[in-house]
Amino acid sequence: PKGLMWFRRDLRVDDNAALWRALRTCREVVCVFVFDKAILDSLPRADRRVEFIRESLVELDAELRALGGGLIVRHALAEDEIPELAHALDVQAVFANRDDEPAAIARDAKVFGALANAGITFHTAKDQVVFERDEVLTKVGQPYTVFTPYKRAWLAKLDDFFLKPYPSRGYAESLIAPPARYDAPVPALQDIGFEATNLSTLEIPTGAQGGATLFEDFFDRIDRYDAARNFPAVRGPSYLSVHLRFGTVSIRQLASVAHQLSLQGNAGAATWLSELIWRDFYFQILAHNPHLAEGKSFRPEYDKIIWHHGKHADMLFDAWCQGRTGYPLIDAAMAQINQSGYMHNRLRMVVASFLCKDLGLDWRRGEAYFALHLNDFELSSNNGGWQWASSSGCDAQPYFRIFNPVTQSERFDPEGKFIRRYLPQLASLSNKVIHAPWTASPVELEAAGLTLGEQYPKPIVDHAEARDRTLQRYGVVRKVA
């Protein structure tokens, strides 16, 4: 039979479950990627993720061509385009890797229906995660909502079978080149209505080769991950999240290396594997709780909270977005996301807590801002992270635990290196006051050439007062619970 491989969030040839299955089952396989108007139309015209995808497709297309195939790239509504293309190419089956975001499930259901009407089958495979949906359940068959027992069960279930690579490349003889009328180079960004971003100046490597380079680099320091991962000024984490997001690395390969090292007693690798398990954890939470995609709190009683709203709240929100809160660690973190689309995990936790527990703003505003700006934006992890910080999520931070943005700064950026990188106007403050410039003496401020309220804002809230307001605001939860 003839098959169509539909690439989505799995932009690689190696160890790709659906591609492997297509190549094994079909004598001829054509490959396609659709820039889906249903997703793209709502994005700003300069979006690093669109550029990341585009650059990764150029590499994927070249790789497929070298193997005798090639990539058809369309800019259309995927739910219409895939059935039309399958029909025009006269294929008997379409293959794709599963995506459990509610919008993707709805899209795939439409595609499934349209294909079925035309007598074409639609096969999906697990590829994004090690364990999905109902694969890891409690003894009584319920989904886990607490991480630690989930992790224990995840590790207990793990064996070689689940990490075995799918050797797609070994079956490449089934790949066929796109027919002449669909055979065109990957469109330029402008051709799909987008502008270039600063992705290349940021030197964020794209494609499967970029993912492999980052992993090699991380592999050399994985044993230090444990010690380094909480310090944003240090190259501690892997920076692989955007590659996991778009499937330019294989989760099985990463988990397999981390697992092997961890069995050999490598503490850094064990901690890193835990982070990969958090990723699976949030995926299955979303799969079992699709209403999370509609802005609902995981714990319904938290939807009773009345957030600060109105003009003053809008002003606070703008200051948070633009990194003008007067708290240097918060502002440096927001500069990092605004300039690069990345934010260090520790900082994501701190700025998220600051938004809902210092500014009293609805976490959904922050969630939406991250969704727009993060290169690695992932509905399940982003929602999980925000609901963790706002205490409304599963296995979340208790509501009365409130990060102090100054002590977090003193602990995790003790020399203010990260702050100085993003807020050069504070560079000459001492290590002691850089975390809270309003505590500097007039002499020190003058020596640093700094007037608060001019080159750098005064704090927009008082943390101690905000803390009291938050405890009151969250009182409604206590009453209900």
Positions touching ligand FAD (CB under 6 A) are 229, 237-241, 244, 275-276, 278-279, 282, 345, 348-349, 352, 370, 374, 376-378, 381-382, 384-386, 389
The residue among 15 and 378 lying less far from ligand FAD, judged by its C-beta, is 378
The identity of residue 31, as a single letter, is C
* Residue 196, number of CB atoms within 10 A of its CB: 14
- Whether residue 223 contacts residue 248, with contact meaning beta carbons closer than 8 Å, is answered with no
Active site residue: 20, 272, 278, 388, which one?
A: 278
Which CB atom, from 26 or from 394, has the smaller least distance to ligand FAD? 394
State the nearest-atom distance from the C-beta of 284 to ligand FAD, in Å: 12
Q: Which residue of the set 28, 84, 132, 275 is catalytic?
A: 275
Phi, psi of 250 (to 5 degrees): -100, 125
Q: How far is the CB of 350 from ligand FAD (least distance, A)?
A: 9
Q: Are 93 and 1 in contact (CB under 8 A)?
A: yes
Q: Which of 345, 410, 431, 444 is catalytic?
A: 345
Least distance to ligand FAD, CB of residue 177, Å: 34
Identify the three-state secondary structure at position 34. Answer: strand
Q: Closer to ligand FAD at the Cβ: 374 or 436?
A: 374
Reduced to 3 states (helix: H, G, I; strand: E, B; else coil), residue 387 is: helix
Question: For ligand FAD, which is the closer residue by CB, 189 or 244?
Answer: 244
Give the whole-angstrom CA distance, residue 88 versus residue 81: 10
289 is catalytic: no
- Cα(178)–Cα(205) distance, integer angstroms: 27
- 436, exposed or middle or buried, with CB in 10 Å at 0-12, 13-18, 19+? buried
Catalytic one of 198, 307, 410, 444: 307
Return the number of the residue (89 or 244) whose C-beta is nearest ligand FAD.
Answer: 244
State how far the alpha carbon of 111 is from the alpha carbons of 6, 49, 52, 60, 82, in Å: 11, 24, 26, 24, 7
Q: Which is nearer to ligand FAD, 111 or 273 (CB)?
A: 273
CB 244 → ligand FAD: shortest distance, Å?
Answer: 4
Residue least distant from ligand FAD (Cβ) = 385
The H or E element spanning position 433 is none
Cβ 209 to ligand FAD shortest distance, Å: 17
- For the chain, how far is it from start to end, CA to CA, in angstroms? 58
* 465 noted as active-site residue: no
307 is catalytic: yes
DSSP string, 269-331: HHHHHHHHHHHHHHHHHHHH-GGGGGT--SSGGGGG-----SHHHHHHHHHHHHT-SS-HHHH
Identify the sign of the CA torsion 389, 390, 393, 397: positive
CA distance 380 to 457: 34
278 is catalytic: yes
| Minimum distance of ligand FAD from residue 45's CB (angstroms) | 21
Minimum distance between the CB of residue 394 and ligand FAD, rounded to whole angstroms? 12
How far is residue 291's CA from residue 313's CA, in Å, rounded to a whole number? 26
Neighbouring residues of 247: CB distance < 8 A, sequence distance ≥ 6: 8, 9, 10, 11, 12, 16, 97, 127, 128
Q: How many other C-beta atoms lie within 10 A of the C-beta of residue 203? A: 8
Question: By C-beta, is 166 or 281 nearer to ligand FAD?
Answer: 281
382 noted as active-site residue: no
* Residue 211 CB, nearest approach to ligand FAD (Å): 11
The helix (run of H) or strand (run of E) holding residue 97 is strand 93-97
- Least separation, in Å, of the C-beta of 281 and ligand FAD? 7
Rounded CA-CA distance 62/375 in Å is 24
Nearer to ligand FAD, 174 or 284 (CB): 284
Joined together, the tokens standing for residue 66 give 């070298």
Annotation marks residue 6 as catalytic: no
- Active-site entry in 6, 154, 320, 386: 386
Nearer CB in complex with ligand FAD: 145/174: 145
The residues assigned a catalytic role are 275, 278, 307, 345, 363, 386
